Structure 1
């Protein structure tokens, strides 16, 4: 298994939101996290990515194995598309940016500043960074926000290729991504009443890890 989560509890704003969550992810697998807004999908992903500690339980994954992508695109506005990808490639060890540009249909935009991209183009660029990390486990929070149907298809193809090469993906999403995946409904693991969960915003995050 590339990722094993054992009986973890997670908190937001100091209050438990999920407890008793366990799952395992093998190479080549996709696991979709399901549940209503506010249930704790973002909090769980942040905990799995080691951006915050669990209240209980354990996350077992190789060091530096997870690439985390959240709601924010996390781009450097003044840099071009190619410069943004090259920056992240340098951070993660010099991966070639050409496949990322190709797979997310960014070749024609490579010299455009990120600040001049549309919302969907920014999202594609943010997702393209996954391909230059070289990390085997993708933990993604609503990755298709702002994407049109064609771009959702590009993302789905990227996930398929990643898994075919031995990677894995943990994805919080409300939509059908069009590929075979296991699903985990977080409803049974809710640690607070729905009326209390609604008081919290489940969208806070660092943009990328």
Structure 2
């Protein structure tokens, strides 16, 4: 499953932050998203994931083939590690959580409530959810936050296995993961920050805010 982006403009608060984006994320490919804080990487990932509308352009990919890993770990605090994984596996119609458990070294934590995990353990559990979605396109926003060196290695190994199986990953990160990857620097796509919002921009965000309020 390929993700193709054509002439894409994305906005934050109705103000364009990136424009004219053109790229393709192909099966078996890792693409590292680079740019300083505030440059629009999160906005781009949210747009690609279908969580907010683009201002212009198109994203050609089946939303059901995409999984988005944001800054939040997305855990249910009262559920154990195993219950969290089984919940997400059931949502996606899968039964086997063993690869996720072993891939992120969670075997000794299965019965522990996620509320009692350390920040790094919560992040490992949040990332382990990727392996129970069955979805080929991963969009990941700073996935290694709170991870120690050993856990970063586990994550990088999971990405390698994913792309070796025909998946793909677009990862916003400031660290070197040691992956064979291409780089997309958002700097050249920075939009004019002083451009006034158009009525179309206001309407698009009014509709979006109303739908999710």
TM-score, normalised via structure 1 length: 0.91
Rounded to whole Å, the distance in 2 between the matches of 1:181 and 1:95 is: 31
* Count of residue correspondences: 194
Is the CA contact 2:162–2:168 (under 8 Å) kept in the aligned structure 1?
Answer: yes
SS across alignment from 2:64: coil
1:63–1:72: structure 2 CA closer, same or farther, 3 Å change rule?
A: closer
Cα distance change, pair 95–27 in 1 and its aligned pair in 2 (3 A): farther
1:193 to partner: Cα distance: 4.6
Answer yes or no: is 1:102 the counterpart of 2:102.
yes
- Name the CA distance, whole Å, in 1 between partners of 2:95 and 2:130: 11
- How is 1:1-209 mapped onto 2 (pairs within 5 angstroms)? 2-193=2-193
Q: Which residue of 2 aligns with 1:201?
A: none
Q: Deviations over 1:42-74 (max 9, x none)?
A: 000000011111000000012401000000011
Deviation larger for 144-153 or 93-102: 93-102
Shift of 1:2: 1.1
For 1:200, the equivalent position in structure 2 comes to none
Structure 2: how far apart are the matches of 1:104 and 1:135?
A: 18
2: CA distance, partners of 1:78 / 1:48: 31
Paired residues of 1:95 and 1:133 also in contact (CA < 8 A): no
Q: CA separation in 2, counterparts of 1:68 and 1:142?
A: 11
Higher share in helix? 2
Could you tell me which runs of 5 or more consecutive residues in structure 1 were left unpaired when the two chains were aligned.
195-209
Q: CA deviation at 1:192?
A: 3.6
- Three-state SS of the structure 1 residue aligned to 2:139 is strand
For the 8 Å contact 2:16–2:193, the answer to whether it is kept is no
**TM-score (normalizing by structure 2):** 0.89
Q: CA deviation at 1:94?
A: 2.0
Moved over 3 A (4+): none
Distance 1:115 1:65 in 2: 30
1:199 counterpart residue number? none
